[in-house]
Structures are given as C-alpha cells and as structure tokens.
Amino acid sequence: MTSPIALVPAAQLRPLLDGYEASVRSRRWHTLLILFCIAVAMVLSSISAEVSLPKLFDNIHRFPSYIIRLFHLENGRPVWTDFPEWFWGLPRWLRLLGETLLMAYVGTVLGAIGAFVLCFFAAANVAPSRWLRMAVRRFCELCRTVPELVFALVFVIAFGLGPVAGVLAVAIHTVGALGKLFAEVVENIDMKPVEGIVSGGSSWPVAMRFGALPQTTSNFVSYALLRFEINVRSTAVMGFVGAGGIGQDLIEAIRKFYYSDVSAILLLILVTVAIIDTLTSKVRHQLIGREERR
Amino acid sequence: MQRRPAIDLVAIRDRHPQHFARFDRQRLLTLLTGIAAFALLLFGLAQLGFFGGTLLSGGARLVEIIGLMLPPDPGSWAHARTFGVALLETVAIAFLGTLSAAVLALPLALLAARNVTAARVVRFFARRSLDTIRSVDILVWALIWINVVGLGPFAGALAIMTADIGSFGKLFSEAMEAADRKPVEGIVSTGGSHALGIRFGILPEIFPVLASQVLYSFESNTRSASIIGIVGAGGIGLHLAEAIRTLELQQTSFIIVLILIAVALIDFVSSKLRFAMIGRRGAMT
C-alpha cells in the first residue's frame, strides 16, 4: 500500500532529525541544570532551617491528633454534642469580633484617606513634581514592605496595649498598599478632561477634582473594599502582639491548650471572613458593572 | 460680528430637569453613604479609644522612639553576625516553604480544576479544603506546627508551606481552567488518555504561569517569614520582637533595614527571572 504522505528521503531527513534532537538535548540539559541549582539551594536552606525529616515523621501523627483534639471538649466529647459548652464565651468573643471588624474598618478608612491624598502626587501623569513623586513612592514602598505586626509592636510601646496600636499599624500598611494601587488607577485615566480644565486656566487641585477624580472613584472604592477584606484577616491576629481584637483570646487559647476554645474562635473568624468576602465582592461587582456601563 | 443668540435657560431647564437638579437620587444616595461611612468612622474612633488623650501623648512618644531608632546600629559585631545568620534563616524558611507548597499544591489544584477533574464532589471538597487552609492565618499555622515539631525554623517552614498550599492551589487551578482546550483535544483525538492530555496538553502551557506565581509569592513569603519568629517559629522575627520589647531601638531599626534590603533583593531577582520566563507583558497580568 502506498502511503498518501510523501516521505522525505533519508539523506534529507537525517540533518533535520539531528537538529531536532540537538535542540531537545540542549533544552533537557537546561532543565537539568535549573533542577540541580534548585536542589542545591534546597539542601543549603534545609541546613539553615534545621529541617529534619526523621523529626517530622516521628511527630507527624501529632498534627492530625491536634486537629482532632481541637474538636473535642474538656470532658472528651466531640464539640458538636454540646454547643453551649463549646461556645461558652460567645458574648465576649462576639464583642471582640466586633472590635476586630471596627478596627479593620477604621484602619482601612484612615489608610484609604491617606492613600487618596498621596496617590495624586505619586502618579506619573499628573504629579506636580518629579522629586515629590519619587519621595511619595518610596514612602509607600516603606509602608507596605515593613510587616504590619512590626508596626504594631512599635506602636504598642508608644500607645500602650490596645486597639489604637493595631488600627494605626493597619492604617499605615494600607496607606502603602492602596497608595500604589490608587496611583496606578490615576495613571490609567483619560488625560483629556484634565488637559481641558488646565487649558481653561484652572489650578492643579481643581484639575484633579474635576478632571481626574470622577474617572477614578469607583475603582478607588473597589480597591478599598478589597483591602478591607485583607485587613479583617490581619486585624484578627493583631492581638498576638497585644494590639487589640480577637487575636488576644486566640493566642491565649492556643498557648494554654484550651482546644475547644481555639476551634470555636477560629470558626467564628472563618465565618466572619467568609461573610465579609461575599458582601464586598458583591458590592465590588456592582461598582465594576456601573463603571462598564458608563 | 454676529451676536450670539441669547441662551434661554428657563427653556433648557424645562427640557432637561434631571441635569439641573442639585440633588438627584444618585447623588443623594452617594452623599448619604458617605455620611454613614463617616459616622461609622467617628463611632469606631471613639469606641477604640482614639479620643481618650492617648493619641497625643502616644504620638509624642512615637516621635521620641523614632528619634531613638536613628541611626540603625546593631550594637556590636557579634549582634550583626547573629542578625545576618537569622536573616539567612528567614530566607531559607521562605524558600523551602514556597517550593514545597508549590509541589504539594499541584495535585490539589488538579483536583480543583474544572477541566481536569470531572467529578463535581471531588472538586467541591478540594476547593473547600483549599479555602479553609487559606483563611487560617499563617501565625496560627505556625503555632500549630510548633506543637508538632517544636520551636524553631522548621515549624516556620512548615507553616509557610501549609498557608501557601491554600493560595497556590487556588491560583494554579485558576490557571489550569484558563488554559487553552485545543491541545488537550488534539491529544485525546489521536487516542491519548485523559492523563496524557493533562501532562502534554495543559501542564506545558501553564508551567511558566505557575513558576511566575511561585517566584512572586517568594517575596511576600520572605516578609511573612520575618514575622513568624514573633511566635517562636524561627527566623529574624524572634530577634526583632526581642529588640523591640527590650527597647533596643537602634537594633530594631537595624533589623528592619536588613529585612527591607532582603525583600528588595529578592523582589529584584524574582522579577528578573519572571520577565525572563514569560516576557514583560505576561508578567504584568
């Protein structure tokens, strides 16, 4: 049977095949080299991080047993058999949870206000001066690179234990994170309205107010809501360093091995975070929808 | 010169009342939302103790503290060496955690991706478990792992790994779902199995995306690794918390500067690698 496909003569095929194999081989070498580098880095960092697999395998059974114990009461019964006992501290925890949410809200709003003021000075297309722009950008980078808990630790010394330190830490981190995002929003605006206002003889603040701001509001709000979601998670652990919120009770429960309390508080946090996520994502989709209809 | 016809404002106002209303529905609603948000802000500030006078005295103390922090100074060479070693440990924790999370998240992501796993029940459970892992904070994971393997950097690496499995699982499965279906169809149409379709149809396409996500989170994990020491899981956080608590403020700022430098370096290297892998345009998304 003759094949309908025309075969290339062997003499012609040889160099083609050789070339193909050479290219595959060089790629393979490349991959092996990368894998080798990664393996070396892994070994070095395992030494530095005191990784010991025997220790892990000897103790790994404690991980599931810890999780299982989380769902058992003091008297050894599973938690769902006795809800009042499991959530014995519900009024207190709900109050702390409310405080956590309030902290996240205040921190987000304060940070968003700061970022809002800064972003017009940090955006490349509207910034009044180049040096100011660089300075504002560096400041935002500093604010978002230093971890929130570090700020919280410092603020706890200055403002004492309590939510004030936590709120300020969250606010500063938010200034950094939102400042960058807001500046990017401003950089993406249509410059024609701004040019029109400036050409009419108006000052820079007026141009920002009526030229730039109307194009950015819904994006600003959407990013701020996204940040609120993240901040709820991070304020929940602010209490670990004494900066207010439910984290204080959580770490105490973990440290003192009140297993059922740990699972109850964690569950409360998870449910709250899930509810907030759903709500904010709904509002955000509405905002984005409004933007697209325009 | 021709005179402009006089503008009949009244007639225009009659024809387009909505543009002349000072407060139309939309604006009123926005205004009310703004007022409500502001009222909640004031309530929150009052409730959390911002107006109790702590803000002023605390602010003064903060200025003093910042003054004492400058210039950054480790105190002695021995301290500087300790901090340097701890910083390396931090980077090692982040590296190990990120890499092992990526390896472990891949199979989970396969289970959670719609175009790979057909069984809806499996997918549902894979997604819910990823969600649950993700919503527990990294510090809590660190505390749990400390119970298992004891204090030290190993617990930190395991904590970062656990927390990252959640986020990688989600990101990877989304990348798989966004992959082009045609290569898989081509493989299946020539008689390849479903597994072969995944191996040669989906994985090669998404691999650069996955690698760039891993590199990207290496940077943020370095930041996380620098604070998990606060709860005793190794790295520079332990020294940082101790320096702050014992009011060694110059050491504190020295450690913060070290962390900043390390994060900036890793950011620089990882973005170079990312651009090399997927090009400048792809890296932006």
pLDDT tens readout for residues A17-30: 899 999 889 888 98
Cβ-in-10-Å burial (0-12, 13-18, 19+) of A69 comes to middle
**So what's the pLDDT on residue B282?**
46
Question: Mean per-residue pLDDT for A47-67?
Answer: 83
Residues A85 and A83: their CA atoms lie apart, in Å, by: 5
Residues of chain B positioned with their CB less than 8 A from the CB of A274: 135
Amino acid type, B15: R
**So where are chain B's domains?**
20-68, 77-284
B154: nearest CB among A49, A105, A167: A49
Q: CB of A114 within 8 Å of any CB in chain B?
A: no
Provide the β-strand partners of residue A72: A78
pLDDT digits (tens, 9 = 90+) for B173-214: 888 888 888 888 888 888 888 888 888 888 888 888 888 888
Q: Which residues numbered 173-212 in B keep a CB inside 8 Å of some CB on A?
A: none
pLDDT digits (tens, 9 = 90+) for A251-265: 888 888 888 888 889
Six-digit token pair at B32? 């009310």
Residue A36: alpha-carbon gap to chain centroid: 32
Q: Domain B77-284 falls in which CATH fold? A: MetI-like fold (1.10.3720)
CA distance B89 to chain A (A): 5
Q: Say what the pLDDT of residue B99 is.
A: 92
Chain A: give the shortest CA distance to residue B93, in Å. Answer: 6
Determine the Cα–Cα distance for residues A288 and A282; give it in Å rounded to an integer: 10
| Least confident segment among A49-58, B128-137, B215-224 | A49-58
Give the Cβ contact number of residue B25 at 10 Å.
9
Which residue from A158, A241, A254 is facing B143, i.e. has the nearest CB?
A: A254
Which of B98, B73, B84 minimizes the C-alpha distance to B158?
B98
- Nearest 5°: phi and psi at B53? 90, -10
Query: Cβ B149–A46 below 8 Å, yes or no?
Result: no
Question: Can you give the three-state secondary structure of chain B, one letter per residue?
Answer: CCCCCCCCHHHHHHHCHHHHCCCCHHHHHHHHHHHHHHHHHHHHHHHCCCCCCHHHHHHHHHHHHHHHHCCCCCCCHHHHHHHHHHHHHHHHHHHHHHHHHHHHHHHHHHHHCCCCCCCHHHHHHHHHHHHHHHHCCHHHHHHHHHHHHCCCHHHHHHHHHHHHHHHHHHHHHHHHHCCCCHHHHHHHHCCCCHHHHHHHHHHHHHHHHHHHHHHHHHHHHHHHHCCHHHHCCCCCHHHHHHHHHCCCHHHHHHHHHHHHHHHHHHHHHHHHHHHHHHHHHHHHC
**Running DSSP on this structure, what letter comes out for residue A212?**
I
Amino acid present at B198: I
Percent of the residues in chain B that have a pLDDT greater than 70, as a whole number: 94
Residues 22-61 of B with CB under 8 A from A: 37, 40-41, 44-45, 47-50, 54-55, 58-59, 61
- Tokens in use for B47? 């409730």
Q: What is the pLDDT of residue B38?
A: 92
pLDDT in tens, B251-266: 888 998 998 899 889 8
Residues A168-175, mean pLDDT to the nearest whole number:
94
- Show the tokens assigned to A156: 């706890």
Reply yes or no on whether the pLDDT at A107 is more than 70.
Answer: yes
Confidence (pLDDT) at A242: 86
Helix (H, G, I), strand (E, B) or coil at A245: coil
CA–CA gap between residue B253 and residue B262 (Å, rounded): 14
Place of tokens 């809800």: A83
| β-bridge mates for residue A78, sequence order | A72
Neighbours of A41 (CB within 10 A): 14
pTM: 0.82
CA distances from B107 to A56, B16, B101, B170 (A): 21, 61, 11, 12
Query: Please, are residues B255 and B240 in contact by the beta-carbon 8 Å criterion?
Result: yes
Mean pLDDT for chain B?
84
- Calculate mean pLDDT across residues B116-123: 81
**Global ipTM:** 0.81
Contact residues on chain A for B50, CB-CB shorter than 8 A: 164, 167
CB atoms within 10 A of CB B253: 21
**CB-based contact (8 Å) between B167 and chain A?**
no
- Cβ neighbourhood burial of A11 (10 Å; 0-12, 13-18, 19+): exposed
Mean residue pLDDT of chain A comes to 86
How far is residue A48's CA from residue B152's CA, in Å, rounded to a whole number? 11
224-243 in chain B: CB under 8 A from chain A: 224, 226-227, 230-231, 234, 240-241
Query: Does residue B152 carry a pLDDT above 90?
Result: no
Provide the shortest C-alpha distance from residue B5 to chain A (in Å): 23
CB contact under 8 A, B92 and A44: yes
Chain A residue with CA closest to B138: the answer is A237
Say which range, A33-37, B54-58, B140-144, B227-231, has the weakest mean pLDDT. Answer: B54-58
CATH superfamily ID and name for A92-293: MetI-like (1.10.3720.10)
Summarize pLDDT for A221-254 with one digit per residue, the tens.
888 998 998 899 889 989 888 888 888 889 888 8
Angstrom CA distances, B137 to A103, A183, A198, A247, stand at: 17, 29, 48, 11
Distance in Å, alpha carbon of A217 to nearest chain B alpha carbon? 11
Judged by a CB distance cut-off of 8 A, whether residue B277 touches chain A is: no
The pLDDT score that the predictor gives to residue A228 is 92
